[in-house]
């Protein structure tokens, strides 16, 4: 059997705002769903993953992208291309473009501090707020901009868009919560502040093409993957999409 999978040091982008090594996810897994970024018909959406695992050892290929990120994986690992097609790594050529995950944090206005994600399926392509994407996925028709309900981050962290952290509240109730500002209790909590500052890696916001600029032979490594319900696809921190088990 030909082993597929990613190097254990590959970081996976999670909706809670963290970037975790896939081997670390496997080591600390206790059966709970893992919420991450997925894509279906070129539409970025919520992915639900389970059962991260080590699949064995294999020779690897190192894919270098134009954003200077690398993907280390089995030659048989499948990636999602920008045109929506799927190919094994060993079938890829320099110059081909992979489906990108672009994220940025709004820097001004009413929604300052909220993450936005690029939606390539729109005409023209545009950015969409991640918490609104999660809200529509979780609550369906119960949530809309004109429903009288607001989405609320339970921990008051605007970039923690894990579905378990997103509640649907009547607008007056939501406004009342924020007026009380319970997050101020953390102001002098040095341990909380340290955790908050270190929980994320810097994100690349410049919209490069995610084109392949190099393919080289790598070393033999233990390889990992996970199961993603329905789409089978998930994003890694380098900004591209992987086809899982």
Across 11-20, 124-133, 189-198, the highest mean pLDDT is recorded for: 11-20
**Per-residue CA distances from 102 to 22, 77, 126 (Å):** 20, 22, 11
Q: What's 121-188 look like in SS3? A: CCCCCEEEEHHHHHHHHHHHHHCCCCCCEEEEECCCCCCCCCHHHEEEEEHHHHHHHHHHCHHHHHCC
Question: What confidence score (pLDDT) does residue 145 get?
Answer: 67
pLDDT in tens, 37-56: 999 877 899 999 999 999 99
SS3 assignment, position 191: helix
> What local confidence, expressed as pLDDT, does residue 164 receive?
95
Tokens 């949530």 sit on residue: 143
Non-local (6+) Cβ contacts of 47 within 8 A are: 35, 36, 37, 38, 228, 229, 231, 233, 234, 235
Main-chain dihedrals φ then ψ at residue 176, nearest 5 degrees: -65, -40
**Choice among 26-30, 41-45, 174-178, 192-196 with the minimum mean pLDDT:** 192-196
Q: What CATH number does residue 154 fall under?
A: 2.170.16.10
Which pair of structure tokens corresponds to residue 155?
Answer: 């921990």
Q: Which residues contact 198 (CB under 8 A, 6 or more apart)?
A: none
The answer to whether the beta carbons of residues 104 and 119 sit under 8 Å apart is no
**pTM of the predicted model, to two decimals?**
0.84
- Residue identified by tokens 């070393």 is 219
pLDDT at site 119: 84
Instruction: Give me the residues paired with residue 46 across strands.
Output: 37
Per the structure, the complete domain to which residue 90 belongs is given by 1-245
pLDDT at 201: 42
Better-predicted residue by pLDDT, 106 or 56 = 56
Distance separating alpha carbons of residues 41 and 17, to the nearest angstrom: 24
pLDDT at 183 over 70: no
24, 174, 196, 199 from 187: Cα distances, Å: 30, 21, 12, 17
Q: How many domains does the chain have?
A: 1
Q: Which residues contact 162 (CB under 8 A, 6 or more apart)?
A: 14, 15, 16, 35, 134
Question: Which phi and psi angles does 66 have, rounded to 5°?
Answer: -75, -5
């Amino acid at each position: 059997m030909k082993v597929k999978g990613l190097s254990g040091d590959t970081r996976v982008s999670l909706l809670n705002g963290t970037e975790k090594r896939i081997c670390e996810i496997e080591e600390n897994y206790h059966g709970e769903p893992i919420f991450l970024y997925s894509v279906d018909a070129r539409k970025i959406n919520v992915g639900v993953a389970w059962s991260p695992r080590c699949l064995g050892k294999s020779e690897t290929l190192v894919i270098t992208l134009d954003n200077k990120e690398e993907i280390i994986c089995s030659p048989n690992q499948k990636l999602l291309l920008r045109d929506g097609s799927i190919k094994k790594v060993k079938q890829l050529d320099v110059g081909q473009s992979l489906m990108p995950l672009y994220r940025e944090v709004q820097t001004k206005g009413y929604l300052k501090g909220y993450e936005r994600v690029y939606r390539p399926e729109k005409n023209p392509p545009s950015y969409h707020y991640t918490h609104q994407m999660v809200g529509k996925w979780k609550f369906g028709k119960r949530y809309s901009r004109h429903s009288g309900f607001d989405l609320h981050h339970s921990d008051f962290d605007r970039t923690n868009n894990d579905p378990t952290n997103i509640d649907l509240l009547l607008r007056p109730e939501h406004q009342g919560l924020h007026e009380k500002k319970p997050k101020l209790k953390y102001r002098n909590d040095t341990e909380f502040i340290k955790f908050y500052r270190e929980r994320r890696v810097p994100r690349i916001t410049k919209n490069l093409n995610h084109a392949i600029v190099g393919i080289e032979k790598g070393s033999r490594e233990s390889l990992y993957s996970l199961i993603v319900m329905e789409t089978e696809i998930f994003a890694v921190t380098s900004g591209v999409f992987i086809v899982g088990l």
